[in-house]
Amino acid sequence: MISANNHGVDQLSALPDAWRAEIEAGLGADESLQVWLETDLDTGLRYSRGLVALTNRRLLALQAEEPKRREWTFQPELSLLHHDHAGVGTLELRDAASCLATWRYTIGQNPAAQRLFDEFERQLESRLSGRPVERPPEERCPKCNTLLEPGQEECPVCAREIHAPPSTRTLLRLGRFARPYRWPLFWGFILTLISTAAAMVPPYLTMPLMDDVLIPYQSGKPIDAGLVVLLLGGLLGAAVLAWGLGWVKTYILSLVAEHIGSDLRTATFEHLMRLSLEYYGGKRTGDLMARIGSESDRICQFLSVHVLEFATDMLMIAMTAVILFSVDPWLALVTLLPLPFIAWMIQLVRHRLRIGFEKADRIWSEISNVLADTIPGIRVVKAFAQENRETQRFRAANAINLTVNDRVNRIWSLFSPTVTLLTEVGLLVVWAFGIWQVSRDQITVGVLTAFLAYITRFYTRLDSMSRIVSTTQRAATGAKRLFDILDHVSSVPDPARPVRLGEVKGRIEIRDVGFRYGNRSVLRGVDLTVEPGEMIGLVGHSGSGKTTLVNLICRFYDVTEGAIRLDGADIRSLAVADYRRNIGLVLQEPFLFFGTVADNIAYGKPDASRQQIIDAARAAHAHEFILRLPQGYDSLVGERGQGLSGGERQRISIARALLIDPHMLILDEATSSVDTETETEIQKALDNLVRGRTTIAIAHRLSTLRRANRLVVLDRGRIVETGNHDELMAREGAYYRLYEAQARNIDVDLDETAEPGWKMEHKAKDE
Amino acid sequence: MQAPDFQLKRDAFGRLVLTAADGSVCEGVVPVRAFPISAPGEGIALVGPDGHEAAWIERLDQLPQALRQLVEEELARREFVPEIRRIHEVSSFATPSTWKIDTDRGETTLILWGEEDIRRLGKSGLLIEDSNGIHFLVRDINRLDRASRRLLDRFL
Ligand SMILES: Nc1ncnc2c1ncn2[C@@H]1O[C@H](COP(=O)(O)OP(=O)(O)O)[C@@H](O)[C@H]1O
Ligand SMILES: [Mg+2]
């Protein structure tokens, strides 16, 4: 527990400089700053800084425009109100008769606002009653107001807020994937070096062939057959050597590249599997598929073909340059003349190409998105006869693809021939300069021939080397898009030092939980304790946040405010997989993977024996219908278990949950989508499943929840009633009306049955 | 211009109070646009604190002046979609990326989580959702200055 005074000193020193002097000067004797909120909007919703500060005596507000400073001393009837809408939070100060002031801020400041709101009530209460402040014996993160575990210093929420963008030098980052292959890579490089060197020999031998054999013959000397054989033998040997080495090195390096590409793909997928549902909520399937599928392939291509070529070319150019300079520096200088031009041009187009490729890749994702949208939805497309419209959508995406690629091609188509032209001109210059030098007897004809032989190669390489610009940019964008996935930190991260889960009892405490999807607040101030072995029935109309609460308990998402604890430990401090192993989940829409029935049942426990699988199926009342399938437990169920009816699929998913023998069981409308007869079957299966486990069951039909120990009624993200069936019926509240209406078989909206009173229980309201 | 069958006034707490034709009173109604982007002036619901629609306004410009002003005021208090006027700099072309921007509501920064948070509106408009879930509007890309357009283009 933090003492009030200490707290005040901390608060003052943590205050941004702009405000500190002003606040400090205004504090009276034994007045101390408690909490503050920096607002970033004014009342007209323009960006503007302001401060709302709470002392143990009053509320102070500072702002940039007039009135610069306002204050309200504590008095009875003063109250704060706090709500948010569409990303903007509002804090309102009222007395009994009217609204005294409002402050607006963007949602990022919400934790501070919440803290101010909580503390305001405590301080006001304490000041008016003269009793010391009663602070709950818990520590909260000073930045974001999250409950901290005793002794936990690092806040699990703040620790994960990583806003740093990934480095853009993405291709270099592929090094991480190359490390395991450094020896093959090393040998590959050595081989490249030798084979390139071997390829340098033939032009060199043209020099003695010219100067010592052909030219002397023209001036009347006989041909030295021995020398010719020796030189030609050298030529042949070098060629064969270059061929052999080239073969081996290409093989080694392609192999490595293939491995790197496959590692990259797997790593990305592995990482993707760990990301939270929040990530998937914001991504489109087609886009992710395109990234993992084609981008990794592109990188692999780049590594296996182009990098290799590029390395060879670089070596060749370097070696050629050395040889040329050693033979005749002046001629060499002229030879290398086009190089700077080409370098300059590369620089010029590189940037444009990259942007073009980025766009092309995005459009490619868009094309995949159309596919990923339409194919699973094909029944709807056909039912509404919208085939043409989807085709149109596909065509449109494709057309953009064409335009974008056209832009790239236009740049590219100019670039490549220009390089060729430059090299042709270069050749011309060398001829001219060479003839001039020969005429002045500065070099021999042999030297000129050798030069020409070298640079013809050299220039063709230059041309192909410039091509690497495009492939490099292409691979770089691919790598960037993969690293976009790889760099994404899961929003439900594993803690750095996870608390070990001992024997799980199954006590779930939901403490003051708030949750929002983006800026949309869905749960507020939910408090609930589920004892081990207890069965809770969660009811409420559609959209009231039942599934959301269950998602939080499963830790598919992390709470925005408050905490959820299992046997006293914050679930954020547990290893995610460890924790989830204790949860059996049955959803309304059971998902069956492509595979056999047995595989699907054993999904959560792949090492289950056949006997165990059958036992689970029996308990789930699935055994008999499975036996009726043509291949029993070995029957294949399609992509979405299309061969099975809804009730059958549901029972398989119940068997799946039963098999892992979880301590906690979560049923989210497990029987809503089936007919009553099947429901009775499923209900029997569920009764087996529920026994002795902490259970949270959501059901549309209230009769399904007859076994529940307690019923919890949710409405618009708040718990409005709790109790068992009889208590709630006696209370004649929301549940009563819901039940009555259902008994009369009228589908009822909970809102209409509600009294106005029970909604206003909490002051912090959200619109 | 036809008179609506309800009355609206603001109380001391700044809330809108609606009196329906049958005399029932609803405190704290809020106006909600049905098509905030595609047709902001048409179809506005007055929604009560219980989340139920208390009244429906067909077109804003057909309301009597006083009423219309009340509704518009309240809309202005609730709606926060800053319009981007200029992009000064972006921290990187890879996401997450922090943008320093100028909006019609002053200067600020936004953090873009991913390129998919940029949604196209019609031919040349954009709606950008930042990491806090606040939406920023670009009404017409072509009306931005060259430098901003160049930066933005890298994300499209
Ligand atoms: N992924 C999501 N993103 C944004 N809003 C969501 C998401 N899932 C649910 N919601 C919203 O949250 C509210 C509660 O939804 P949910 O928990 O599924 O309700 P219930 O299960 O009680 O029918 C609904 O208003 C719904 O629109
Ligand atoms: Mg649901």
Could you give the number of structural domains in chain B? 2
Instruction: Evaluate if residue B11 carries a pLDDT over 80.
Output: yes
Instruction: Examine the domain organization and report whether B46 and B68 are in the same domain.
Output: yes
Is B95 an 8 Å CB contact of chain A? Answer: yes
Q: Chain A interface, mutation test: which of B95, B111, B136, most A Cβ atoms within 10 Å?
A: B95
Residue nearest to atom 6 of ligand 1 (CA): A517
Instruction: Examine the domain organization and report whether B51 and B71 are in the same domain.
Output: yes
- Closest residue in A to B109 (Cα–Cα): A47
Question: For a pLDDT cut of 90, what percent of chain A falls above it?
Answer: 4
Residues with Cβ within 8 Å of residue A566, at least 6 apart in sequence: A501, A504, A506, A507, A508, A509, A574, A579, A582, A664
CB < 8 Å to A44, chain B: 76
Return d(Cα A201, Cα A382) in angstroms, integer.
68
Query: How high is the pLDDT of residue B87?
Result: 92
Query: How high is the pLDDT of residue B100?
Result: 92
Domain membership of residue B137 (yes or no) is yes
Residue nearest to atom 8 of ligand 1 (CA): A548
In this prediction, residues A234-244 reach a mean pLDDT of 87
Instruction: Evaluate if residue B101 carries a pLDDT over 90.
Output: yes
Return d(Cα B16, Cα B69) in angstroms, integer.
12
A189's torsion region: left (phi>0), alpha (psi -120 to 50) or beta?
A: alpha
Comparing A49 with A747, the larger pLDDT belongs to A49
Q: Sort A641 into a burial class: Cβ within 10 Å, 0-12 / 13-18 / 19+.
A: buried
The nearest CA of chain B is from the CA of A433 a distance in Å of 46
Domain membership of residue B62 (yes or no) is yes
CB < 8 Å to B135, chain A: 86-87
Comparing A496 with B141, the larger pLDDT belongs to B141
Instruction: Examine the domain organization and report whether B114 and B149 are in the same domain.
Output: yes
Average pLDDT for chain A: 80
Per-residue b or e along A661-699, where b marks 16 or more CB atoms closer than 10 Å to that residue's CB: ebbbbbbbbbbbbbeeebbebbbebbeebbeebbbbbbb
Domain membership of residue B46 (yes or no) is yes
- Pick B80's closest partner by Cβ from A88, A170, A282: A88
> Residues A63, B72, A524, CA angle at the centre, nearest 5°?
65
In this prediction, residues B94-118 reach a mean pLDDT of 86
- Could you list the residue range(s) of the whole structural domain that residue B59 is in? 6-78
Domain membership of residue B1 (yes or no) is no
pLDDT tens across B36-54, in order? 888 888 888 888 887 788 8
CB < 8 Å to B96, chain A: 163-165
CB < 8 Å to A282, chain B: 113-114, 116-117
- Closest residue in A to B28 (Cα–Cα): A767
Instruction: Examine the domain organization and report whether B144 and B102 are in the same domain.
Output: yes
Domain membership of residue B93 (yes or no) is yes
Instruction: Examine the domain organization and report whether B106 and B132 are in the same domain.
Output: yes
Residue nearest to atom 18 of ligand 1 (CA): A547
Task: List domains and CATH numbers for chain A.
Answer: 11-132 (2.30.29.30), 171-486 (1.20.1560.10), 508-732 (3.40.50.300)
Q: Chain B interface, mutation test: which of A84, A102, A144, A519, most B Cβ atoms within 10 Å?
A: A519
- Pick A45's closest partner by Cβ from B80, B93, B113: B80
pLDDT tens across B68-89, in order? 898 998 888 888 889 999 999 9
Residues with Cβ within 8 Å of residue A106, at least 6 apart in sequence: A40, A41, A87, A88, A89, B132, B134
Instruction: Examine the domain organization and report whether B10 and B74 are in the same domain.
Output: yes
Instruction: Examine the domain organization and report whether B118 and B145 are in the same domain.
Output: yes
Instruction: Examine the domain organization and report whether B10 and B51 are in the same domain.
Output: yes
Given B78, B104, B137, which residue is the final one in a domain? Answer: B78
Query: How high is the pLDDT of residue A740?
Result: 81
Domain membership of residue B130 (yes or no) is yes
Given B21, B45, B78, which residue is the final one in a domain? Answer: B78
CB < 8 Å to A40, chain B: 108
Instruction: Examine the domain organization and report whether B74 and B37 are in the same domain.
Output: yes
The nearest CA of chain B is from the CA of A561 a distance in Å of 15
Given B46, B63, B78, which residue is the final one in a domain? Answer: B78
In this prediction, residues B118-131 reach a mean pLDDT of 84
Domain membership of residue B57 (yes or no) is yes
Instruction: Examine the domain organization and report whether B12 and B74 are in the same domain.
Output: yes
Residues with Cβ within 8 Å of residue A653, at least 6 apart in sequence: A586, A587, A590, A591, A592
Instruction: Examine the domain organization and report whether B94 and B70 are in the same domain.
Output: no
Q: What is the whole-number distance in angstroms between the Cα of residue A655 and the centre of ligand 2? A: 21
Residue A160 pLDDT level (bands cut at 50, 70, 90): very low
Query: How high is the pLDDT of residue A4?
Result: 42
Query: How high is the pLDDT of residue A137?
Result: 60
Q: How many CB pairs under 8 A join A and B?
A: 105
> How distant is the alpha carbon of residue A12 from its chain centre?
38
**B48, B5, B6: which is closest to B28 by C-alpha?**
B48
For ligand 1, residues with CB inside 6 Å are A 281, 517, 520, 522, 540, 542-548
Atom of ligand 1 nearest to the CA of A668: 21
The nearest CA of chain B is from the CA of A485 a distance in Å of 10
Domain membership of residue B18 (yes or no) is yes
Say whether A483 and B154 touch across the interface (CB within 8 A): no
The nearest CA of chain A is from the CA of B81 a distance in Å of 9
In this prediction, residues A24-42 reach a mean pLDDT of 84
Question: For a pLDDT cut of 70, what percent of chain A falls above it?
Answer: 89
Residues with Cβ within 8 Å of residue B90, at least 6 apart in sequence: B97, B98, B99, B100, B151, B154
Say whether A165 and B96 touch across the interface (CB within 8 A): yes
**A156, A187, A715: which is closest to A491 by C-alpha?**
A156
The nearest CA of chain A is from the CA of B49 a distance in Å of 7
Among A283, A513, A547, A696, the mutation site with the greatest number of ligand 1 atoms within 8 A of its Cβ is A547
Return d(Cα A764, Cα B10) in angstroms, integer.
21
Backbone angles phi, psi at A245, to 5 degrees: -65, -40
CB < 8 Å to B106, chain A: 46-48
Which residues are A84's β-sheet partners? A89
Q: What is the pTM of this model?
A: 0.70
Question: Tokens at residue A543, please?
Answer: 């959209």
Instruction: Examine the domain organization and report whether B88 and B145 are in the same domain.
Output: yes
